[in-house]
Each structure stands twice: as structure tokens, then as C-alpha cells.
Structure 1
Amino acid sequence: MTALDHAILWHLYPLTATGAQIRGGRKPGRGVASLSAWLDYLVELGCDTLLLAPIFQSHTHGYDTIDHYRIDDRLGDEEDFGKLVGECRRRGINVLLDGVFNHVAADHPWVDQGLTTGRSWEGHEELAELNHADERVAEAVVAIMNYWLDRGIAGWRLDVAYAVPTAFWAKVTDRVRQTHPDAVFLGEIIHGDYAALLRDGHVDVVTQYELWKALWSSLKDTNMHELAHALGRHNEFLEAGYLNTFVGNHDTDRIASVVGQDQAILAAAILFTLPGVPSIYYGDEQGFEGLRGEGFAADDPVRPPLPDTPAELSPLGARVYEYYQRFIGFRRRHGFLTTAGVEIREVDNARLSYRVARDDDWLDVTVSLPGEFKAIASDGEELSFSL
């Protein structure tokens, strides 16, 4: 049994969620400690893990890190972060931080110290690619990870892990586990060999982008064959380890803007009845909408501010929120789903039936477009609705 066997993540983008300015200036927001006002909401939703996008000192959006040991001054300082971690610990919430260890800001001290390759990251001149063949880089990353693990976090999301040699991740995670054996490592992989990153990189869980794409695309195009194919692949990937499943994150269009509010609810029902470690991108559980744009500010529409407290949310999101609570409660009562296997039973363009099973526990699910859902578990509990 590990923390991942029951984990449901709430994924938050702290800089913009707290109202900080990320381009054209550096106006602070409410600060990272203000997120404590959302922790009871997180628990009531049914989540137990808070996944934070970058919180370290950077120039703009957080992925251009200047100092991994300093909380971004738009979010406060280490004392403020410590208050948030303390409030999380009091509620039994794990905290994962986003570690950007593939690249750094072009004026990061590591550039002058010769720890980079001399190349920019994917043509972004403001980002310098780290030299992962340099032992000093591994030592620096291990030290950073241990520093924040010592301060109470549970683990790390590894940004663009697919672009870093798996041997580097294996070296780093193995060293960190010498002092923090229970640390969790979530590797971001958009394309590439999922199993290799799990097996050879020694990470615990990887992002399942293939399933994400198939989920929204199948609903949008009324083509459940695409989802059936992705679930076959999903079942193969599960043999290698844990998979982080999701219907949206900080780099994707909002599911409600892509398929509409009703089918976004249907997508969530499918998500929570499939094997994996699910994550919810903040606001999806309220039906937030937003489409990515073009250029440097492309992601801004999907990284919105939150109100000061959950009580100030629009009542328009209550319906979606209640469905999410229902789905998560059902999943909590059927914990075998995280590490189960999935088998397709029936598929045509508008209908998909699958079984999720482990040992003597099973769940039979039928999805009929545009909005019929029914799941029956081996213990007799049923989850069904019509939109």
C-alpha cells in the first residue's frame, strides 16, 4: 500500500489562482498562505492531495525558475508556504510541488556555472536547457528535492520528464529516497514510452495524455472506438505502474469548453471509474470554461484567478461540483479501481461498455452518448445518471 493507492489530486496553479501578475509586471496576489481557505473545500470534494504548479522564484509564469530555494515573492515567502503545509498536514492532505528540472531561466546562476547545454529549451530563448550529463546537476536537484521534503511536502511533479534521460531520474529519485523513502514522483510525459519512464526512471506515476486525448475527442466526435482503443493501451501501460489520469490540466483547453457542460460531467464519470490516479484541475469541478490562445500568453485563459474563498464561487458551478462529489465518493468506496485492469466489452460509435476488475472486485460500466451512464459494482452499488 502506498499513498498513490488512494490519492485523488487537486491540481492548482498558485500564481494566477491567487491573483498574482505573471506578465507585464510582478504585482503580488493574495499569497500562497491564502490557499488555506480552500483546503476544506478540497477535502469536501473528496481529494487528499494538493498538487501545486511552480511556486519558486521566477520571472513570469513559474516555469522560468531563477531560484529553487526561494518562494516566488508574488506568493510570499517560506514562512507563508510553511503555514499552508501545516494546514494541509492538519487535514491529512499531501502536498506535491512542481519541479522544473529540465530547464531554468536564461539568467539562472547555473548558466554561469556551466550547468546548462548552451541551448535554449524548444526555441524559447528565455529558457536554458540543463546538462543532465553533468553530475553537478543531479547533485543540485537532489539537494533541492530534499530541502522541500524536509519541510513537509510529500513529493514532486517532474516537469517535462519525457525530455530528460531516464537514467538521470533514476539517479536522482534513488538518492532522494535514501533519506525520504516515501517520497512520491510524478513524471510528466506527453509523448514517448510511458513504461520506460516508470521502469527505468524509477518514478512512481506518469501522466496519461493518450487517455486524456481519447476521452474528450470520443465525446466531441461521437466516436467511442477511439476511447476503446486508448483503453486497450491504458491497460498495457498499467502493467508498468501507476498512471495519472485527468480530463484537463494547466496546459489544456477546459473540458467544458470542448464538449459542453453535460458531456464534461460524463467525462468525469468515466475518469473516476477507470484505473489510475485521478487528478482534478482546479475549476473543472465547477464547470470552468476556457480555451488556450496563441503566443506567449496562450495558457492564460485556462489559468484563472480564484475568489478569496469557496463561498464566493458562482452558484452556477454547484451542479457540476455535486456530480464530482458523487463520483469521487463512489470511487472512494471502490479503492481497487486505482490498480485494476480494464477490459472492453462492447463498442460502437455512441456506446461503450467496459469492465474494471482486480481479483474478486469488479465494476461494469456502460456509457451511451450523448449522456447516459451506468456503473454496477461487485458489491451491488450502482452509479447511474442521465443528462
Structure 2
Amino acid sequence: MTALPTYPSLYQINTRVWLTELSRKLGKTATLDDIPDAELDDLAQLGFDWIWFLSVWQTGLAVQRVSRANPEWRREFQETLPDLREEDIGGSGFAIAGYTVHQNLGGAAALARLRERLKQRGLRLLLDFVPNHMAPDHPWVEQHLEYFVQGNDQDLVRAPQNYCRINTAQGSRVLAYGRDPYFAGWPDTLQLDYSNPATQEAMIGELVKIAAQCDGVRCDMAMLVLPDVFERTWGRRAPLFWPEATRRVRERVPGFCFMAEVYWDFEWTMQQQGFDYAYDKRLYDRLREGHARPVREHFHAGLDYQNKLARFLENHDEPRAAATFSPEVHEAAAVTTFLSPGLRFFHQGQFEGRKKRISPHLVRGPEEPVDQRLKQFYDRLLAVLRKPVVRIGAWQLLECVPA
């Protein structure tokens, strides 16, 4: 496969939603093998280097039950799909029961064939890695309870939003939900204990397995396992994880790519610990606020930092760009974002002007009309981004002076 340009482009696909649409068209349950070659040809011709297939890993019934029973989540699902059905709620793709390709998607063999088809078109495959937590029905809950943060009855009484009782082969145990330090726990997950070196070793093992099946990973909430953040959340010190994890994976798979979902100004930290790219949420927030000076000042940073930022206007976590920005501001924000240095990161539905965000718990999306004006704008923008000077040229910020 040819070397990546200085400034590559990535396209994120909601795998389960896409295959649900495909199943309807084909009149049968579609797997990764049913993704048409013509669709992959289109992605290559649009100029993408990376395709991120969201939520391909195995999830279980425990996660599905939590998603279907949670009234707050259900209200959000209903807003997205007024005709919501039970089967539309598949459970979060980030509550993973095992790093094996979901049986409904065709399993590991179907993913390997898809990866080969991508490779033939010069496309690289990016998949998810969720370092912070696992699903409550992951085999480790029975086999390795020591990998998880455990609590006691007092914790359950004091913070029921952060702990739950689980019945295991070793008896009843209080375990912590996965969470970040600023919010209540995610009740469809269990928190991994990064203060335990054995947990870290096991997670590096999972990463090595994943690296045999794709060309890179997007690491969910990557900063949560940083020693300072983990200690702030759980009151226990964790050894550094990422430098060793990224080094060990690249020993096996040279050139393997790591992209960090990261917030709270830890972007530079993640880059220093082995990440090729870190989310640039700061630029996105400044564009949403609509103030020119902070946006311009954002680009004063050195290129050693900027070249390793992932620039986006929407993704599965953020609201749709077409619902966030007025049409004129949307176009200006897109030009600013995607003609800056770094990885150009686009999301399925963005070019068509979709306005409804689809939760990662859902396996079906709403039908929405295409915004033809916005689509024509993105056609023009992508044509510019395919130009060699924009992909491999030298970027610099011009001085802004009064007329």
C-alpha cells in the first residue's frame, strides 16, 4: 500500500446502521461481505485514506437489556426515531463483550475480506479500542475479577450511580461502572482497574489481537487511563499505559496507527505517549462559539503538534454539523477545519446535511432528505482536498493585518 500523505482524510461509518439500511434494500440480513464494491470505489474516489468502521466488536444481551430499559436513553432514541422499535436498540457498541467481530456482521472472516477489498483500493481500516471499560457480560468478569475496580456495600449505598452488584461464579460482588471523573457511571459497562499491572498486560494483549485485523485504532476516551486522571477518578495510582502499549503493538505491526479521542487539553500528552493523532475538540468548540480571534490563535501552535491533530466538524458523539451551524457558517467552518494541518476527519451523513445524531446504541437511523446545496459544497471541498499540494504540501499561517 502506498505511503500516507502528510495530511490524510478519514471517513467514519456507522457499521450497524449502514448494514441495517443495506438489509432493507437486499431483503436479507446483510453482513460486511454484502457491502458493495461500488460503495468502496466511491470512498476511494472521494480521496479518503482511512475508513473507520464504528462498532464491529461483539456485544451481548446484558448491554442490550440495559440500553432498552434506561428511560433517559430511550427518550433520546425516540427523538431520533419516532417509530422506534425494540430491535432498533442494539446496545452500545462501546460496551464490548469481546474483541471478536460481531457474529451478526459476519465474524472475523468477513472483516478480513472487507479489509482486503479496502486495501485493493488504497484504503486503510480503522477500528475501535475501548481501554477504560468492558461490558458486564465480558468473560473476564467470571475469569479475572481482579481486572476490574471493585467496591463494597458502603460504595453501593454512597454512590449507587457508580456501582452495581454482580453475581459471579465467585459469589456476589460490588463492581464499579466505567466512568469519567465528571459524570455518573455508564451503567452498561464495568470499570477496568489500571492500577493492576495484570489488567494493563491483558489490555495490551487485546490491542495486539486487534492490530492483526486492521491498520489502526481509534481509542475511546483515551485520557481516562492516564495516571493522573485515573487517580482522580478512583483514588488509586496507575502506571503509564500508552507508551508501553503503543510500543509493543508497533513492534508486532510497524506503522500501526493510534488515534486518541481526548479532551481536557491532554492532546499534546497523548501525542507524546505514542499517538499519531489526537482529537482537536478545542478547534471545534471555538468554531461553535463563533469568535474569529480564538480560532486564528489556535493555529499559532507548532506544526509538530498541529500535524498530529484530528480535525472534525461532527462525529458520532457530537451533534450533526448541519444542525449546529447555519449554512453559511457551516461552509466557513468546514473550509477552516479541513484546510488546516492534521488528519481531515469526516462523518457518514455529513456531506448530505443529515441533522439527527444517531446514538451508538441504535442500529437503525432515520430517513432524512439530502441537502443538495451542502452536498455540492462538500463535492467542491473534497475536490480541493484531493489536490497533491493540499495532501502533501507545506502549510503555513499567513499574517492577519488590517486592510
TM-score bracket for the superposition, by shorter chain length: 0.7 to 0.9
Compute the displacement of 1:130 (Å): 0.9
Taking the TM superposition and a 5 Å limit, the aligned residue runs for 1:5-24 are: 5-19=6-20
**Larger relative contact order (C-alpha < 8 A, sep ≥ 6)?**
2
TM-score (norm 2): 0.71
- Percent identity of equivalent pairs: 20
Residues 19 and 66 of structure 1: CA distance in aligned 2, closer, same or farther (over 3 Å): same
Q: Separation in 2 of the partners of 1:177 and 1:192?
A: 26
What is the correspondence of 1:221-240 to structure 2 with a 5 Å cutoff?
223-232=291-300, 235-236=301-302, 238-239=304-305
1:84 to 114, 120, 129: 114
* Structure 1 residue 314: Cα displacement: 8.1
SS in 2 for 1:196: helix
| 2:141 aligns with one of 111, 124, 129 | 111
1:71 is matched with which residue?
Answer: 101
Paired with 1:341 and 1:80, the residues of 2 have a C-alpha distance of 43
- 2:324 pairs with 1:258: yes
* Contact 2:8 2:342 (8 Å CA) reproduced: no
Return the match for 1:165 from 221, 226, 249: 226
Distance 1:340 1:324, change over 3 A: closer
Q: 1:61–1:280: structure 2 CA closer, same or farther, 3 Å change rule?
A: same
Could you give the per-residue CA deviations for residues 256-290 of structure 1, whole angstroms, max 9, x where no partner exists?
A: 11113343232222222211111111121222222
Structure 2 residue runs of 5 or longer lacking an equivalent are: 22-27, 64-90, 151-175, 180-184, 228-239
Question: How far, CA to CA, are the matches of 2:58 and 2:140 in structure 1?
Answer: 14
Provide the C-alpha distance between the structure 1 equivalents of 2:216 and 2:357, rounded to a whole number of angstroms: 30
User: Are 1:245 and 2:275 matched, yes or no?
Assistant: no
State the AA in 1 paired with 2:32: V
Measure, in 2, the Cα distance between the counterparts of 1:241 and 1:268: 17
Spell out the pairing of 1:1-387 with structure 2 (5 A cutoff).
3=4, 5-19=6-20, 30-37=30-37, 38-58=39-59, 59=63, 60-68=91-99, 70-112=100-142, 113=144, 114-118=146-150, 119-122=176-179, 123-151=185-213, 153-165=214-226, 167-199=240-272, 201-218=273-290, 223-232=291-300, 235-236=301-302, 238-239=304-305, 242-291=308-357, 304=365, 318-330=375-387, 332-336=388-392, 340-342=395-397, 345-346=400-401
Work out whether residues 162 and 189 of structure 1, in 8 Å CA contact, stay in contact via their aligned partners in 2: yes
1:184-212 Cα distance to aligned partner (Å, 9 max, x none): 1111102232111111x211111110011
Between stretches 270-279 and 239-248, larger displacement belongs to: 239-248
SS in 2 for 1:285: coil
Match of 1:367 in 2: none
Deviation per residue, 1:155-214 (Å, 9 max, x gap):
111111011126201111111111112111111102232111111x21111111001111
**C-alpha spacing 1:120/1:43, structure 2 compared with 1 (3 Å):** same
Whether the aligned pair in 1 keeps the contact of 2:13 and 2:52 (CA below 8 Å) is yes
Bigger fraction of residues in strand: 1
**Cα distance in 1 for residues equivalent to 2:136 and 2:121:** 39
Q: Give me the whole-angstrom Cα distance separating, in 2, the residues matched to 1:306 and 1:51.
A: 22
2:66 is matched with which residue?
A: none
Task: Identify if the C-alpha distance between structure 1 residues 328 and 253 changes in structure 2 by more than 3 Å, giving closer, same or farther.
Answer: same
Q: Is the 8 A contact 2:278 2:308 kept in 1?
A: yes
Contact 2:15–2:53 at 8 Å: present in 1 too?
yes
Specify whether residues 316 and 336 from structure 1 end up closer, same or farther in structure 2 by C-alpha distance, changes over 3 A only. closer
Q: Is the Cα–Cα contact under 8 Å of residues 187 and 203 in structure 1 kept in the other structure?
A: yes
Superposed CA RMSD in Å reads 3.1
Verify the 8 A CA contact 1:103 1:127 in the aligned structure 2.
Answer: yes
Deviation per CA, 1:279-308: give whole Å up to 9, x if none.
11112122222257xxxx59869x83799x
Q: Aligned partner of 2:107: which letter?
A: D
| In structure 2, C-alpha distance between the alignment counterparts of 1:41 and 1:100, rounded to whole Å | 29
TM-score (norm 1): 0.74
SS in 1 for 2:194: coil
Q: Deviations over 1:310-349 (max 9, x none)?
A: xx9786764134223223224x333345x745355148xx
Inter-partner Cα distance in structure 2 for 1:98 and 1:82: 16
Residue identity opposite 1:327 in structure 2 = V
1:265 match: secondary structure: helix
Match of 1:373 in 2: none
Tell me which moved more, 254-263 or 95-104. 254-263
Matched to 1:231, the amino acid is: F
Q: Is the 8 A contact 2:307 2:343 kept in 1?
A: no
Q: Using the alignment, how far apart are the partners of 1:98 and 1:12 within structure 2?
A: 12
